[in-house]
Amino acid sequence: MDWLQQIINGLGLGAIYALIALGYTMVYGVLRFINFAHSDVLMLGAFSSFYIAPKIEKVMGSQSLLGCILVFILAAAICACLGMLIERLAYRPLRNRPKLTVLITAIGVSLLIEFTCQNENVFGASPQPFPKLLPEKSIHFGNVILSSNDLLTVTVTIVLLAAMWLIVQKTRIGTAMRAVSYNQQAALLMGVPVNRIISFTFGLGSALAAVAGILYAIKAPGIEPLMGVQPGLRAFVAAVLGGIGNLPGAVLGGVLLGLLETIAGGIPGLSNYRDAIAFGILILILILKPAGLLGRSSVEKV
């Protein structure tokens, strides 16, 4: 087994997990709950690009870079709207209710999206071939193969992470997001439009999920309504691993999980347990360091 190859594959997968984990972490940061429907927004992102891509292709010609960027932007925009809609309809009415109620609702929303999309009148349950957005090339370095898809994934992820960091740290709205995350009541008293900020956070997170969904679909080109579940759960584990609510932590967790999964998948005997590895890590982390690798533990005030 070629370790370098495994590491490259792992990084490609890890970058996708990092993007999804970023969305989980941002929503958790401002609202303190796990948005179970995040993984379904990812799936919807993949499906929107599935329907958009042929239309773009007609206008821009097939497999053009500009067309590809346009597909990404449109799918991200659609999912951003969907994310905000979900927040508005399902989560906002429950803002001051017990956390458990919100969690159960999130599970309900997730199931609703999944099973509605599985209906034969919507997308149907069987996998559909995802179109090629860009010509696929692979570069050989001796035994190691570097595919253009992995390169695309890593590049897109790095660009988006940088953009995210700039938004959260340098802009006014980012400052407001951090304020809401720190203390919603106090932020409200200081004149931060909390509802709008939460809506924006959901939009941003969902747009990231959409991009991750397309990248995932390029990597594993058979898309179906349940495609978001596995990467979604793993990205959630990644977010917890890095310290939920912590942006760099989400990226670290995503990359680590991607690497671990790919490497474990290459070891015979362990490969059958791939699905269990992420959860095994999650349980270990929660027992040993419940705040995650980069998280700070907080004491509950009475």
24 vs 130, beta carbon nearer another protein: 24
Q: Is residue 302 at the binding interface for another protein, with CB under 8 A as the rule?
A: yes
Residues 33-72 that bind another protein (CB under 8 A): 33-34
Give the DSSP H or E segment for 297.
none
Which residue matches tokens 């594959």?
Answer: 9
- Locate 167 and state its tokens: 């938004």
Of the residues 111, 158, 166, 190, which one makes contact with another protein according to CB under 8 A: 111
Of the residues 93, 129, 135, 222, which one makes contact with another protein according to CB under 8 A: 93
What's the CA gap between 218 and 121, in Å, rounded? 25
Residues 230-289 that bind another protein (CB under 8 A): 233, 236-237, 240, 272-273, 275-276, 278-280, 282-283, 286-287
What's the CA gap between 204 and 84, in Å, rounded? 9
28 vs 47, beta carbon nearer another protein: 28
Q: How many helices (H) and strands (E) does the chain have?
A: 11, 4
Q: Is residue 135 at the binding interface for another protein, with CB under 8 A as the rule?
A: no
- Minimum CB separation of residue 102 from another protein in Å reads 8
What's the CA gap between 199 and 129, in Å, rounded? 33
DSSP, residue by residue, 138-191: EEEETTEEEEHHHHHHHHHHHHHHHHHHHHHHHSHHHHHHHHHHH-HHHHHHTT
Residues 7-36 that bind another protein (CB under 8 A): 33-34
# chain residues binding another protein, by CB under 8 A:
43
194 vs 233, beta carbon nearer another protein: 233
Residue 141 φ/ψ, nearest 5 degrees: -120, 90
Residue 7 φ/ψ, nearest 5 degrees: -65, -40
- Locate 96 and state its tokens: 């001051």
Q: Is residue 299 at the binding interface for another protein, with CB under 8 A as the rule?
A: no
Q: Is residue 103 at the binding interface for another protein, with CB under 8 A as the rule?
A: yes
Q: Is residue 124 at the binding interface for another protein, with CB under 8 A as the rule?
A: no
Residue 196 CB coordination number (10 Å): 12
Contact 293, 254 (CB under 8 A): no
- Minimum CB separation of residue 115 from another protein in Å reads 4
Which residue matches tokens 């499906």?
Answer: 47
Q: Is residue 95 at the binding interface for another protein, with CB under 8 A as the rule?
A: no
34 vs 214, beta carbon nearer another protein: 34
267 vs 283, beta carbon nearer another protein: 283
Binding site for another protein (CB under 8 A): 33-34, 90, 93-94, 97-105, 107-112, 114-116, 119-120, 233, 236-237, 240, 272-273, 275-276, 278-280, 282-283, 286-287, 290, 300, 302
